[in-house]
Chains A and B, each alone.
Chain A
Amino acid sequence: MPVRVSARQVEDATILDVVGEVDLHASPELRKVLLDVLREKPAPHVLMNLQGVTYIDSSGVAVLVEGLKTSATVDGRFALYGLGPEVREVLELTQLLSVFEVYENEQESLRGHR
Chain B
Amino acid sequence: MKLLFKLEVPSDPQLTTVVRSAVKQFATVIGFSEEQCRAITAGLDEAVTNIIRHAYRDRHDQAIHLTCRGNDTALELILEDAGGPADPEELHGRPLDKLQPGGLGMHIIRGTMDEVEYQRLPGGNRLRLVKYTKPKNSEEKCP
Contacts and interface: CB of A to CB of B under 8 A. Distances in A.
Interface of A: 1, 21, 23-25, 55, 57-59, 61-63, 65-66, 68-69, 85-86, 89-90, 93-96, 99
A90 B52 contact: no
Interface of B: 13-14, 16-17, 20, 35, 38-39, 41-42, 45-46, 49, 52-53, 96, 99-102, 104-105, 107-108, 111-112
Nearest to A27: B13
B49 A68 contact: no
B105 A68 contact: no
A59 B42 CA distance: 12
Given A86-B38, A93-B108, A94-B108, A62 B102 contact: yes
Contacts of B17: 1, 21, 23, 25, 55
Contact of B49 (A21, A57, A86, A90): A57
B99 A58 contact: no
B45 A94 contact: no
Which 10 pairs from chain A and chain B are nearest by CB? A62-B101, A25-B13, A58-B104, A24-B13, A93-B111, A58-B105, A65-B101, A95-B96, A94-B104, A66-B101
Contacts, number: 69
A23 B45 contact: yes
A84 to B, nearest CB: 10
B99 A62 contact: no
Given A23-B16, A96-B99, 20 more contacts: A21-B17, A23-B17, A23-B20, A23-B45, A24-B13, A24-B53, A55-B20, A55-B45, A57-B46, A57-B108, A58-B102, A58-B108, A62-B104, A63-B101, A65-B99, A89-B39, A93-B42, A93-B112, A96-B96, A99-B99
